[in-house]
Chain A
Amino acid sequence: MLIKQADDLRYSDITPKSLYFNRRRFLAGVPAAFLGARELLSPSARARAGTTKLTAAKSPLSTTGEKITPEDDVTHYNNFYEFGTGKEQPADLAKNFKTSPWTVSVEGDVAKPRKYSLEDLMKVAPLEERVYRHRCVEAWSIVVPWIGYSLSALLKEAEPTAKAKFVAFESLYDPKQMLSPFQAGIPLPYVEGLRLDEAMHPLALLTFGMYGETLPPQDGAPVRMVLPWKYGFKSVKSIVKIRLVSGQPPCTWNEVGANEYGFYSNVNPNRDHPRWSQRKERRLGEFGKRDTLMFNGYPQVAGLYSGMDLLRYY
């Protein structure tokens, strides 16, 4: 189809009025217009391989009023270092990633440890479709309709003991299918962690799909976390282990550079990354930059951190 609706071109983003009155908007508008024009000519989105339909009820916890990022952008702009450090590499290198059979072990300080098959794991609670903003530590962001359920449902089923204070996550590391730690530049397997109360927050989503289908490999198939108020790297992909523990668990990026990537890594425009500012972000598909919001615009999590100096506990 060659002729698209005008609003597909996102001309609304560069309204003529501000175009005349706002120099900066105008300067952003020139390349935007160029890319808008080329969008008319570019082939339609690349086909998505190996995913299946996943139906889910719309969640009341969805973020509203945001334009969903095109799926093709979300599936071809990934940080998944096990499959390459380039942004478009994971889409290619993870193409044949084997996600079935898949088991996830819930273990540690819990009354009911269990190894779940993916199928069983997906039945722990009803699946919901939740639209969230997702903010990368590298100052870009996307809006994605994820499908999953609150991690709290799974944790409740496992019954954490009184000793459990933190949740440690581990991604699959299969050297036969993935790059070496040297090639990835980070130690593997990828590990992440949350305080138990953070993990219990309803916004913390155990995720199986997006855009109405199961997750594609490059976005963390078959199961990942999505933590919309934290920088993207906290949202661990391709999970094989969820372990409840009493002490703060190690986190991969935190081990790589503790001054750059804190344990909490809540989105915070007031705490710069040592090498770049976190005040603004670029929404994929937009040319100007937006202001980054505290907790990525999810103030309902603020209670988890009351009384904490978030510049110190970044």
Chain B
Amino acid sequence: MQKRRGSKILVFLLCLVPLLWLGWRAWNGRLTANPIEFITHYTGDWTLRLIVIGLCITPLRKILNQPDLIRYRRMIGLFAFFYGCLHFLTWIWLDKFFDPGEMWADIVKRRYITVGMAGFLMIIPLAITSTTGWIRRLGGKRWQLLHRLVYLTAVCGVVHYFWLVKSDIRQPLLYALLVAMLLGWRLRTWMRPAAKRPAPMRKTPAPPSPVYSQSGQLVEREPPAEA
């Protein structure tokens, strides 16, 4: 138990490293001559990276036969949301100075902002319903369906990136390939006939018997693992 706690803390700290690095650079005056642009790009990059890392969890669990990896998924997703908030905040504060008119004009007029906004709005409910309480309230199936929205967010993030670069598409292309592979992997799993599908994974060791609440509902301690 102690070791498992430790690994979660480690992942937590790892997710904080980009933020600390940004703070360090800021303190040393290394945010380039245009710090606002730098922060916007930096936070955007980490939002997308964490979304991609989050999407890697399920395939990695199956491919490496490491069902335990599921324990990190919620945290990674929440950190993606956190960096997304910083990214969004940079925009509304340092780019638009909280001017609602200017913000709205950009959202409707600039297609890269439109899709970025769509991607961001879609992960808000996911962050809110990330708690065990919400999983129970929604029920595993419905929760899972809702959280598939993250696929759309990933696609929005990539399109956002493609539409904002001036000419050098190598980075967005790289993310597009990664996201395509990760979503393609899921598509392949769903298309496979049910009989051939690997049995749903259990955390090891499997619980001796399901745990039910007083109302007779199944209580899950971790988010449903398929997604």
Give A contacts to B, CB under 8 Å.
23-24, 27-28, 31, 34-35, 38-39, 41-43, 72-74, 76-77, 81, 85, 87-88, 138, 140, 183-186, 256-257, 272, 275-277, 282, 284-285, 287-289
Query: Contact: B94 with A284, CB < 8 Å?
Result: no
Query: Contact: B163 with A85, CB < 8 Å?
Result: no
B205 within 8 A of A: no
Chain B residue with minimal CB distance to A187? B167
Question: How far apart are B108's CB and chain A's nearest CB, in angstroms?
Answer: 13
Q: For B13, list chain A residues within 8 Å (CB).
A: none
List B residues 76-115 near A (Cβ within 8 Å). 93-94, 97-99, 105-106, 109-112
The 8 closest A-B pairs by CB, nearest first: A185-B168, A185-B167, A42-B29, A73-B33, A77-B33, A85-B168, A24-B97, A284-B33
A114→B36 CA distance, assembly (Å): 46
Number of interface residues of B (CB under 8 A): 29
Contact code string B98-140 (vs A, CB < 8 Å = 1, else 0): 1100000110011110000000000000000000000000000
Query: Contact: A35 with B166, CB < 8 Å?
Result: no
- Using a Cβ cutoff of 8 Å, how many contacts connect chains A and B? 77
Give B contacts to A, CB under 8 Å.
26-29, 32-37, 93-94, 97-99, 105-106, 109-112, 163-170
Q: For B112, list chain A residues within 8 Å (CB).
A: 275
Query: Contact: A85 with B34, CB < 8 Å?
Result: no
Query: Contact: A287 with B29, CB < 8 Å?
Result: no
Q: For B105, list chain A residues within 8 Å (CB).
A: 277
* 26 A-B pairs with C-beta separation under 8 A: A24-B99, A27-B97, A28-B94, A31-B94, A35-B29, A35-B35, A41-B29, A72-B33, A76-B32, A81-B167, A85-B167, A88-B32, A138-B166, A140-B34, A140-B37, A185-B167, A185-B169, A275-B110, A275-B111, A276-B110, A282-B36, A284-B33, A284-B34, A285-B33, A287-B36, A287-B94
Query: Contact: A38 with B26, CB < 8 Å?
Result: yes
